[in-house]
Amino acid sequence: MVDMPFETYFDEMPCYVSVQDKDLKLVSANRRFREHFGDIEGRACYQVYKNMPEKCEVCPVERTFYDGKSHQSEEKVRCLDGREVSVIVYTTPIRDEDGNIEAVMEMSTDITDLKRLQSQLSESKRRYRMLFDEVPCFISIQDRDLNVIDANRLHRDTFGERYGGKCYELYKHRSEPCVPCIVQQTFEDGELHVHEEVVATRDDRKLNVLVQTAPLHDPDGNIESVIEISTDITPIRQLQTQLTNIGLLISSISHGVKGLLNGLDGGVYLVNSGMQNDNTKRIEQGWEIVLRNVSRIRSMVLDILYYAKDRELDYVSIDPADFVEAVRDVVQSRADDAGVELRFEANEACGEFQADRKALQATLVNILENSIDACRVDKKKNDHRVSMEFDANGRYVMIDVEDNGIGMDRETRDKAFSLFFSSKGSEGTGLGLFIADKIITSHGGTIHLESEAGNGSRFHIEIPRTPEAVQQETLVPEPVTAPAPIQE
Amino acid sequence: MDYKGKVLVVDDEKDTRTFFTTLLSDQGYEVAEAENGVEAMEKLETFQPDLVTLDLSMPEKSGLGFYRDVREAGGDVPVIIITGIVSDMKQFIEKQRKVPPPEGYLGKPVDQKEMLALVERLMKVDTNRQPA
């Protein structure tokens, strides 16, 4: 062991060491202290360190004089060259032979580099948090029990702030984990996984999301959590659905147009051959076919327009009695051809109401034509009728369309208002009832269908009497009147 | 005009039935109509056609159901499928593997000459054929 005097140890200490008396005057200091802070003769520590006229508010040296214990604090001091240095200060009492504290030794370690690194780390954390929060995806961190232990801002805004809750409760409002659960898969195999899900937001909107998971490891390489990043692909899915529907629409129209062309060809053939043979009856028959098919083309084009374009409703006052007759004019010839009796009636007490006349007429014509066709193909009864009744109460207009045609089985009934579903074989485009439902819904109304195979069908429509009533309806819902049983 | 035999026109579209019936009658065929598969089965018994023109997409009993039932029962009346839905036709071809394929296909709108030529070829028109 090298024999060195105590003063040498004191001087060579790689930190600032000083001894202070009760007045905080510097009694002694090591070489490093003197080099960095200058002459100590007759000066107090606060003058030397901080160039202050008064002692610091909290002084560890003073506290050590007071309680005889060591104390610690973090300070910023200024060197002779003007550098500000962060130090961590430790104090310890120096006692005389009687055990009285005659001085306090203060040892200060330069932690400037450490503080800089701490500051950089804080800044780095802040930036990481900002990136985490601002990424336009839903990001969550989940533990092995599928608890959401952290989430970014978009996630919190969309799904709520329920940290600690299960992800499946948060996303899907369900009580069991999803199957498959790619977070669990990532915990099990440490691999990245991708899956598409439909999740529910805090306000119950449905979102299509593409979910990706990745493991987060602790310093020992164990998976301590899993990060889940979900991208909202709802607009893409909606676009895909629209494109699919356009494809189906084209297919449906194409099919319909082929049938109509065939009908027109037939009409033209009958007219031409009738003219060649001077057969007036055949000419009339052919001309009726031509007219009927032209009418069907018009109807199909209107259906397509209603489907393709969300138009603003054009509210006008409608007199039910007058309206019923206008609808009868459109469907009478079809009913006559099918041998179906029409019974239309508007309750006198119904009074005028407001609706988009053209749209409502298109709706009723669609439903009535369905009813007439349902009667036409029914070979089990001799007499067929289709009835339409208008009634109203204070807030609603109620329209019932009823037929005693073939009726619908459950599958047909369930799909009746679905886009491109038709039970009418070559004659149906699958647009009519879909559009009817769309128009009634846009009026703030409802359509209910009751039907049994072999026993006819009944459509019960309710629409608010005025557009103002539609808005009131959203505030004070009134129970919808249930349709009466079908009369055979 | 020579009697050329019996054709059963099966289609749910009234205008189409009227068209085919008139067209074929003008050529000397005796024609009966059915508007769905159920009615077609009945007419097969009562009318005893020499050929059937068959729509596929029909309510009640479809053309596919009718065709399968006829073939599975050993019926060999020639059938021309006439449909406006190409996918239906393809689906039909796919599904009827267990039974012999139909004798002809036509797409709507039907070309009159093509239809008459196909009917004539399949009927192998016998100029001596007489009404039943």
Residue B132 has a pLDDT of 53
Give me the sheet containing A26-29, strands edge to edge. Answer: A26-29, A16-20, A101-110, A84-95, A71-78
What would the mean pLDDT of A93-121 be, rounded to a whole number?
93
* Positive or negative: CA dihedral A233, A235, A239, A245: positive
For residue A302, what are the contacts with CB-CB under 8 A and spacing of at least 6?
A362
Of A379, A406, A427, the CB nearest to B13: A427
Q: Mean pLDDT of all residues in chain B?
A: 85
Residue A24 has a pLDDT of 92
Q: Tell me if B12 and A259 make a contact (CB, 8 A cut-off).
A: no
- Higher local confidence (pLDDT), A282 or A237: A282
> Does B121 contact A at CB distance below 8 Å?
no
Annotate A293-329 with b (16+ C-beta within 10 A) or e (fewer): beebbebbebbbebbeeeeebeeeebebeebbeebee
Tokens at B111, concatenated: 């070309």
Predicted confidence (pLDDT) at residue A163 exceeds the cutoff of 80 = no
* Domain A6-110 identical in fold to domain A135-232: yes
Q: Please report the DSSP string for A387-402 in residue order.
A: EEEEEE-SSEEEEEEE
Cα angle value B23/B24/B26 (rounded, 5°) = 70
Phi, psi of A138 (to 5 degrees): -90, 115
H/E stretch holding A36 = helix A31-37
pLDDT tens per residue across span A315-325: 899 988 889 89
Helix, strand or coil, per DSSP, at residue A135: coil
Residue A472 has a pLDDT of 59
Predicted confidence (pLDDT) at residue A479 exceeds the cutoff of 50 = no
A340-346 and A384-392 strand pairing: parallel
Could you please state the CATH topology (level 3) that the domain comprising A6-110 is classified under. Answer: Beta-Lactamase (3.30.450)
Q: Mean pLDDT of all residues in chain A?
A: 85
- The DSSP 8-state label assigned to residue A313 in this structure reads P
Q: How far apart are CA B57 and CA A420, in angstroms?
A: 14
Tell me how crowded residue A116 is: count the other CB atoms within 10 A of its CB.
11
> Does B87 contact A at CB distance below 8 Å?
yes
A384-392 and B30-34 strand pairing: unpaired
For residue A462, what are the contacts with CB-CB under 8 A and spacing of at least 6?
A396, A397, A398, A399, A445, A446, A480, A481
Hey, where are the domains in chain A?
6-110, 135-232, 234-309, 312-488
**Cis, bond preceding A477 (omega within 30 deg of 0):** no
pLDDT tens per residue across span A417-427: 776 666 665 56
Q: Tell me if B110 and A265 make a contact (CB, 8 A cut-off).
A: yes
A423 neighbors A435 (Cβ within 8 angstroms): no
Q: How far apart are CA A351 and CA A393, in angstroms?
A: 10
What would the mean pLDDT of A427-454 be, rounded to a whole number?
82
* Pick from B113, B96, B116: nearest CA to B4: B116
What are the chain A neighbours of B84 within 8 Å (beta carbons)? 254-256, 258-259, 262, 426
Per cent of chain A over pLDDT 70 is: 92
- Higher local confidence (pLDDT), A415 or A100: A100
How far B109 CA lies from chain A's nearest CA (Å)?
Answer: 4
Tokens at B71, concatenated: 């073939």
Instruction: Identify the CATH number of the domain defined by range A135-232.
Output: 3.30.450.20
Q: How far apart are CA A431 and CA A271, in angstroms?
A: 31
Pick the CATH number of A312-488 from 3.40.50.300, 3.40.109.10, 3.30.565.10, 3.40.50.2300: 3.30.565.10
Q: How confident is the model at residue A429 (pLDDT cuts 50, 70, 90)?
A: low
> Does B33 contact A at CB distance below 8 Å?
no
Residue A174 has a pLDDT of 75
Residue A425 has a pLDDT of 57
Q: How confident is the model at residue A488 (pLDDT cuts 50, 70, 90)?
A: very low
How far B56 CA lies from chain A's nearest CA (Å)?
Answer: 8
Q: Tell me if A258 and B23 make a contact (CB, 8 A cut-off).
A: no
Q: Which CATH architecture has domain B6-122?
A: 3-Layer(aba) Sandwich (3.40)
Phi, psi of A347 (to 5 degrees): -60, 130
Residue B94 has a pLDDT of 66
pLDDT tens per residue across span A325-360: 988 888 888 888 888 998 988 887 788 888 988 889
What would the mean pLDDT of A1-12 be, rounded to a whole number?
72
Residue A242 has a pLDDT of 78
Predicted confidence (pLDDT) at residue A485 exceeds the cutoff of 60 = no
* Pick from A374, A238, A242: nearest CA to A307: A242
Q: State how far the alpha carbon of A353 is from the alpha carbons of A386, A402, A442, A479, in Å.
A: 24, 22, 16, 20
CB pairs under 8 A between A and B: 87
In the chain, the amino acid numbered A208 is N
Q: How confident is the model at residue A298 (pLDDT cuts 50, 70, 90)?
A: confident
Residue A253 has a pLDDT of 79
What would the mean pLDDT of A21-43 be, rounded to a whole number?
90
What would the mean pLDDT of A160-171 be, rounded to a whole number?
79
Of B58, B59, B108, the CB nearest to A262: B108
Predicted confidence (pLDDT) at residue B35 exceeds the cutoff of 60 = yes
Cα angle value A255/A260/A262 (rounded, 5°) = 95
pLDDT tens per residue across span B79-128: 999 987 666 666 666 666 677 888 888 988 999 999 999 999 998 754 45
Q: Tell me if A425 and B12 make a contact (CB, 8 A cut-off).
A: yes
Q: Which of A63-67, A128-132, A229-233, A428-432 has the lowest mean pLDDT?
A: A428-432
Inter-axis angle of helices A432-442 and A280-308, nearest 10: 50
Q: How confident is the model at residue A381 (pLDDT cuts 50, 70, 90)?
A: confident
Hey, where are the domains in chain B?
6-122
pLDDT tens per residue across span A396-418: 899 999 999 888 887 777 777 77
Q: How far apart are CA A117 and CA B84, in angstroms?
A: 77
**Cis, bond preceding B49 (omega within 30 deg of 0):** no
Q: How many contiguous H segments (helices) and E segments (strands) does chain A have?
A: 15, 17
Cα angle value A192/A188/A145 (rounded, 5°) = 105
Q: Which of A99-113, A171-185, A302-316, A391-405 has the lowest mean pLDDT?
A: A302-316
Q: State how far the alpha carbon of B72 is from the alpha carbons of B66, B75, B96, in Å.
A: 10, 7, 11
Annotate B86-96 with b (16+ C-beta within 10 A) or e (fewer): eebbeebeeeb
Q: How far apart are CA A183 and CA A167, in angstroms?
A: 10
Q: How confident is the model at residue B50 (pLDDT cuts 50, 70, 90)?
A: very high
> Does A78 contact B at CB distance below 8 Å?
no
Of B12, B15, B26, the CB nearest to A263: B15
Q: Based on the number of CB atoms within 10 Å of its own CB, is A10 exposed (0-12), middle (13-18) or buried (19 or more)?
A: middle
Predicted confidence (pLDDT) at residue A2 exceeds the cutoff of 80 = no
Q: Which of A23-27, A465-469, B75-79 has the lowest mean pLDDT?
A: A465-469
